[in-house]
Copies of this chain bind each other. A is one copy, B any other.
Amino acid sequence: MNKKLFLYDTTLRDGAQYKGISFSLQDKLKITKLLDDFGMDYIEGGWPGSNPKDEAYFKHAQYLGLKHSKLVAFGATRKPNTATGKDPQLASLLNAQTPVVALVSKFWQYHVKTVLRTETSENLKMIYDSVDFFKSRGREVILDAEHFFDGFKDNSDYSFQCLKAAIKAGVDNVTLCDTNGGTMPDEIATIVAQVKSKYPQLSLGIHCHNDCELAVANSLASVNAGVTLLQGTVNGYGERCGNANLISLLGSLLLKPSFNQNFSLNPKIQASQLTTLSQKVANVANMPLKNDAAYVGNHAFSHKGGIHVAAIAKASQTYEHIDPALVGNQRDISISELSGKSNVLLQAEKLGLDVSQNFSQVLSSIKSLEQNGLTLENAEGSFEMLVRKHEEGFAPLFTVENIQITVTNLKRSSELDTELCTASVKLSVKNKTTHMVEEATGPVDALNRALKKALSNFFPQVEQMLLTDYKVSILDPENASAATTRVWLQSGYGDERWATIGCSDNILKASTQALIDSYQLFLIKFQNNGMTSASDTDSQHINLDTNNSHQEVQNNGNL
């Protein structure tokens, strides 16, 4: 029978120490629900003695009605030379009313002496008394053995004395912490095995940090050596370089034969939910999910090299270690100069485009664009426009006659400046010309407004298109103000998103390229899919556009 492993999530406590994360009370409650729905065995909610937000959290969390998870309040062993009954920190832990209490305790002599500044013998009593305090009050007690591995290497006798004190007081689990994240996997395995052979009945946990990019490996090594409770955080959030990433750990524990043939988890936990959990927690934390995150990242199953893409088409396991659907993720083929025919064909097929007639022209256009810095790999919108422009009989829905931008009163200082950007756009649509002007604080925003104003006379649906994301990179920064700029733009309509790109040594021109491709594509999509209510006014509007209204447009343009 497989050995049962338990998962212990500390996203809300250790994860909250990640620089950039600041959970509100509502955030913490939301994440608690997500973790419970996922089936996490333990959720460490915070340290009620350390701040009012965590105290409030435990008051609210009682009413969440958790179905799968046990809530844990985190704290420390009692103060030196203080009775447990007189330690306010222990009292607030008790008040948190959780079924489980986690107590951090010092296991490194050096730490006891230099930081705690007490006797090593008093520290043993602190461990015994604190565990006993909560056990005698009916709590499940997990003891976090801080600096366990550093302490063990320094003086393993003392480590064993600490463990003995905890066991004597009836501790339920001792979690060995690599607090500084500096221990190597082979050391972890050896030391865990030594502890396990000394106390085979003791339930052991592991708590790793990622300071050597080894937190996941160290956790897995400890499982092989006898640990059964795994602490970590969703997406690896945590102090400094983070904690062990539970998402990556779970991917391997659930899907890799080395583990799923020997160990089992709470059956509620499904690998197929990993991508969703990772993304939802990232959203609440307001931290963008890393594209290269193992198993769940946007790029975890992306293929850029031509031969890889060709092979994937023949047999996916040649360049995918698992089927992306197993973790709720999906394959992503990107276009780039490294790619050959297969990437382009696959991407075109995904977009429902037929490139069989003019494939070589499309490919050579892509190669020449990419040599000029215009990488299409994250810009499927520009890719689609490029393919469409090569289609027989393609005619753009509008062409740009002229664009002019003026920025005035652009002084260095203060917020009182009244600098203003003005953009004028002259377009022609089916032999009619429109000339519009708009203003805004920044030149790109002014340009976008003017474009939209000019187009909306012919295509009122453009009012419903939004720009949802905008990025700028400098390709040759050493050329400073004369450098080539790449602009990446994401647009949206309802739930649909598409990205376009522009590249020039003039940032406004690069932005113009990306904007125009985006509007062109939106209008094509609109025509083809009959988007929304505005569809019936589409072609009519152009025909009905009288000389008068056209005149008015031009007048507006001269304001």
Residue ranges of A at the interface with B (Cβ–Cβ < 8 Å): 16-20, 22, 24, 26, 50-51, 53, 110-111, 114-115, 147, 179-182, 184-187, 210-214, 216-218, 220-221, 224, 236, 239-242, 245, 248, 251-252, 256, 258-259, 283, 286, 290-295, 297, 299-306, 308, 310-311, 314-315, 317-322, 334, 336-338, 370-371, 373, 375, 377-378, 399-413, 417, 419, 421, 440-445, 447-448, 466-483, 485, 489-490, 504-509, 511-513, 515-516
Contact = CB atoms under 8 A, between A and B. Distances in A.
Task: Tell me what chain A mostly uses at the interface: helix, strand, loop, or mixed.
Answer: mixed
A283 B468 contact: no
A291 B408 CA distance: 38
B441 A467 contact: no
Nearest to A294: B213
Given A217-B214, A440-B482, A442-B482, A19 B291 contact: yes
Given A19-B299, A185-B185, A336-B22, A115 B315 contact: yes
B477 A469 contact: yes
Nearest to A25: B371
A286 to B, nearest CB: 5
A182 to B, nearest CB: 3
A293 B236 CA distance: 12
B480 A217 contact: no
Given A182-B256, A221-B185, A404-B408, A241 B448 contact: no
Given A53-B337, A186-B224, A212-B248, A411 B404 contact: no
Contacts of A301: 240
B304 A17 contact: yes
Contacts of A406: 404-407
Given A17-B338, A110-B315, A182-B322, A506 B407 contact: yes
A297 B508 CA distance: 33
A295 B321 CA distance: 28
Given A19-B378, A24-B475, A482 B320 contact: no
Contact of A481 (B286, B375, B448): B448
B476 A26 contact: yes
Contact of A241 (B297, B399, B419): B297
A210 B252 contact: no
A151 B63 CA distance: 53
B445 A481 contact: yes
Contact of A404 (B404, B407, B513): B407
Contacts of A472: 472-474, 485, 507
16 contacts: A19-B304, A22-B373, A114-B315, A180-B317, A184-B256, A214-B217, A214-B294, A286-B473, A402-B410, A403-B407, A411-B512, A421-B506, A442-B482, A444-B507, A448-B481, A471-B474
Contacts of A409: 402-404
A319 to B, nearest CB: 6
Given A286-B475, A507-B507, A407 B410 contact: no
B475 A184 contact: no
Given A314-B114, A319-B180, A411-B400, A302 B480 contact: no
A308 B104 CA distance: 13
Given A19-B378, A407-B508, A442-B506, A240 B481 contact: no
Q: 6 shortest A-B CB distances, which residue pairs?
A: A182-B321, A217-B217, A467-B480, A442-B506, A180-B321, A403-B410
A252 B300 contact: no
A22 B317 CA distance: 27
A444 B300 CA distance: 37
B240 A299 contact: yes
Contacts of A471: 474, 477
A319 B111 CA distance: 10
A396 B253 CA distance: 58
A445 B474 CA distance: 14
Nearest to A313: B115
A411 B402 contact: yes
A412 B516 contact: yes
Contacts of A401: 411
Given A115-B315, A185-B185, A442-B508, 12 more contacts: A26-B476, A180-B317, A185-B220, A400-B413, A405-B407, A441-B506, A442-B505, A442-B506, A445-B505, A468-B480, A472-B485, A481-B515
Nearest to A305: B17
Contacts of A294: 210-214, 241
Contacts of A506: 407, 410, 419, 421, 441-443
Contacts of A412: 399-400, 512-513, 516
